[in-house]
A = this chain, B = another copy of it.
Amino acid sequence: MVGAGQLARMTHQAAVDLGMSLRLLAESPTDGAALVTPDVELGAPDDLAALTRFAKGCDVVTFDHEHVPTEHLRALEDSDVAVRPGADALLFAQDKLAQRRRLQELGIPVPVFAPVTSVADVARFGEEHGWPVVVKAVRGGYDGRGVWFYDEPPDSLPGPNVYVEAKVPLLHELAVQVARRPSGGTRAWPAVETVQQDGICVEVVAPAPRISPALSTDAERIALRVASELDVVGVLAVELFEAPGGLLVNELAMRPHNSGHWSIEGSVTSQFEQHLRAVLDWPLGDTSPLAPVTVMVNLLGGRDTDLTRTLPPALEAVPEAHVHLYGKEPRPARKLGHVTVLGDDVVEARERARTAVRVLRGDDE
């Protein structure tokens, strides 16, 4: 696995169960996954020599992020490394404008969008489709970075490689995860509701509690279609807007994703195990939920979060909490971990998970 953040860390835990040996390409020996895994190669994901060294002896190469340049992915493929998902698929998780165009071609609903090269392009788009508009980085944005909202034409573009789209008046934000094997088998988890604050996912409720079964099926169908049309292998997370006119695809990630952390305890097969099974072209696992409701709340660093001090009282406050810490130095707003609670009632499970997170952050002190 290229990358050694929390996704690789949790993938290692799943790999252990299946008797696999996960090798990591880590940027630093203190990366969350590098701290807990013995087979670590140090190197940057945009360094082809490091990638090649790392890939040697791997049955399959997969990813915990989208930072490997396309030309390096192709170079690995050309030297007969099994890169999964492949470069052609990953492009659509890396390049948002290419993704919007491709999905539009396929008739999969996306927000109205346009390429822009000047402020005038943004102004024209706003006049045609209405204000506010959203300008987005074509590559590299995440967790609220690379997204800018404008109520009127801006003085300048926020970056060199951006595009514009309509700001969708949304009812809910949803996500669906599916897994797909190279030989074609697929499995979908139920659609979940995601709650964002300042562009960062803060909570996930699974299954999505406030949408109809028909809409949930629609979301699943869209995700399965994206997976097969783009030839995605592994886990695909599709983030969707529920807008008044129906569902619109917002983002794609071709790897385990924050919206699927609930599946570790909440589903028979976790997204991490499923991703490994899928990229190895092994049979996929059962994706049924284990409880009527599973709530996952992200732990973002507070002003003085000190987990060595706050973990015991958090465990005391919520004995049924599943706490996952990522081994990172606390910093304000940094994703340090997450808490999952299973239950029968959304409001109650959410309150319990939020309580654990509040104590972990040190907000109550």
Q: Give chain A's interface residues, CB within 8 Å of chain B.
A: 9, 12-13, 15-19, 21, 35-38, 40, 268-269, 277, 282-286, 288, 290-291, 307, 311-313, 315-316, 319-320, 322-327, 337, 342
Contacts and interface: CB of A to CB of B under 8 A. Distances in A.
Count identical subunits in the complex: 2
Contacts of A315: 277, 282-285
Contacts of A290: 290-291, 342
A354 to B, nearest CB: 17
A340 to B, nearest CB: 10
27 contacts: A12-B36, A13-B13, A13-B16, A13-B17, A15-B36, A16-B36, A17-B324, A17-B325, A18-B325, A19-B307, A19-B327, A21-B35, A35-B38, A37-B38, A38-B38, A268-B319, A268-B320, A269-B320, A282-B311, A282-B312, A283-B312, A283-B315, A284-B315, A284-B319, A285-B319, A286-B320, A288-B320
Q: Return the 6 tightest CB-CB contacts between A and B, nearest first.
A: A19-B325, A283-B316, A286-B320, A286-B319, A283-B315, A38-B38
Nearest to A277: B315
A36 B37 contact: yes
Contacts of A277: 315
